[in-house]
Amino acid sequence: MKTASVAILYQALPPPLIDGLRKDAKPGGYSDGGADIAFALRTAGVNVVTPTSTPNPSKALDWVFPDTADGIHSAGAAGASVLWANTVLFEGHPLETVMADVDIVGQIPSAMQAFDDKYETNVLLAQAGLPVARSFLLSGTGKENVCALADVEDACASRGMSFPMIVKPVRGRGSQGVTLVGSLSDLRDAATALIEAATFGDMLMVEEFLGGDEMTVTVMPPASPRPDGSRASTHWTLPPVYRFDQRGGVAPYNGDVPVTANSIAITPERLREPAIMAMIDSCVAAAALVDARTAIRIDCRADRDGTFKLFDLNMKPNMTGPGRPGREDQDCLSAIAARAAGWSYVDLLLAMFDAKWRFEPSDRV
């Protein structure tokens, strides 16, 4: 049976400034991962539409369309009936204009914009009773619900937060700008540098540091098939992946250290541990709260009591993988989890493709 034709979009649009905050663009706009997806799907027999008739496996941009209005139009004109949004979406993104006409692998743009705000997302999860790392907002000058840098010592004390702590962007990407600080002076120095650089806008998060094991959990949408071929009526997870060899308490950026060098899926025995089971349940509940339409990834760490707390919900996780020349070590964290469940990288992509959706009037744009 002939499959629907799919085109992969990459981030060509500059990231917008949202309430004074910016999610810094990834170099290449995820075109590397988009090309990995396109190449792998084509090897599996999926009809993948590309900008060139004979794409070179070594050239990422041969495989992906820009997420601009012109790029989306070109993908449709080339025959794509499915758009895979391997990009950062936001309200007003050109994808919104075609969501009622084509199938989508990706998130609702307004949902991605809302839940890329790490602070507000964690507030939402905490209000739902989920275990979340404590945090507060920090800026050079105080404003409603935002602490001024000069008052940061009192803000930490009033929340029962002690050093070490994490300082990070509100709309960050990966470990970019994330800093472990061990003292009040370190916190002030790190915060001042980030605020003055203004790469991420004029506000930061100060977050409790969780010193236990770090896990990342890939949550799949209800419409996607499980590795055993069954389908669930709720979100479900792939096996958690254990992260090790952090640098300064923070997992290094995958552009510097491939995640295959510092990440491994946990054993089936650990899946039965009460703390792990509780973490998985929390991640499933979080995915439902944010209406995740495709795979998301949630980073968690254990506190001193062994309770795993959610600290970073990623609406657009990295989705690189092997296949193209020189990409043998490019398994993303979700692909590592998939392999532990008995799937290959392409099996994971096919499950995501199977969960494509189309805009309905009841959906938020």
pLDDT at 127: 98
In degrees and rounded to multiples of 5, residue 38 shows phi and psi of -60, -45
pLDDT tens by residue, 259-298: 999 999 999 999 999 999 999 999 999 999 999 999 999 9
pLDDT number for residue 202: 83
What band does 364 get if pLDDT is binned at 50, 70 and 90?
Answer: low
CB atoms within 10 A of CB 14: 9
The token pair at 153 is 């010592």
Report residue 3's pLDDT band, with 50, 70 and 90 as the boundaries: confident
Give the residue ranges of DSSP H helices in 152-183. 152-158
pLDDT confidence of residue 112? 96
- Write down the pLDDT at residue 156: 94
pLDDT of residue 191: 94
Query: Mean of the per-residue pLDDT values for the chain?
Result: 94
Q: What is the pLDDT of residues 46-74, one digit of tens each?
A: 999 999 999 999 999 999 999 999 999 99
- 130: nearest Cα among 309, 276, 277: 309
Copy the structure tokens of residue 40. Answer: 């792998």
**Torsions phi, psi of 204, nearest 5?**
-130, 170
Q: Are 73 and 94 in contact (CB under 8 A)?
A: no
Domains of the chain, CATH where assigned: 6-106 (no CATH), 134-208 (3.30.1490.20), 214-354 (3.30.470.20)
pLDDT reported for residue 23: 81
- Reduced to 3 states (helix: H, G, I; strand: E, B; else coil), residue 364 is coil
Better pLDDT: 311 or 252:
311
Of the pLDDT bands very low, low, confident and very high (cuts 50, 70, 90), residue 225 is very high
Check pLDDT > 50 for residue 1: no
pLDDT at 197 > cutoff 80: yes
Q: Is the dihedral of CA 194, 195, 201, 204 positive or negative?
A: positive
pLDDT in tens, 122-172: 999 999 999 999 999 999 988 899 999 999 999 999 999 999 999 999 988
Over residues 325-360, the pLDDT tens digits come to: 999 989 999 999 999 999 999 999 999 999 999 988
Determine the angle formed by the axes of helices 31-43 and 345-354, rounding to 10 degrees. 90
pTM metric for this prediction? 0.95
Q: 5, 3, 26: which is closest to 83 by C-alpha?
A: 5
pLDDT tens profile 22-36: 787 888 999 999 999
Average pLDDT score over residue span 94-103? 96
Read off the tokens for 12. 């060509």
pLDDT class for 174, splitting at 50, 70, 90?
confident
Instruction: Give the H or E element holding residue 189.
Output: helix 184-197
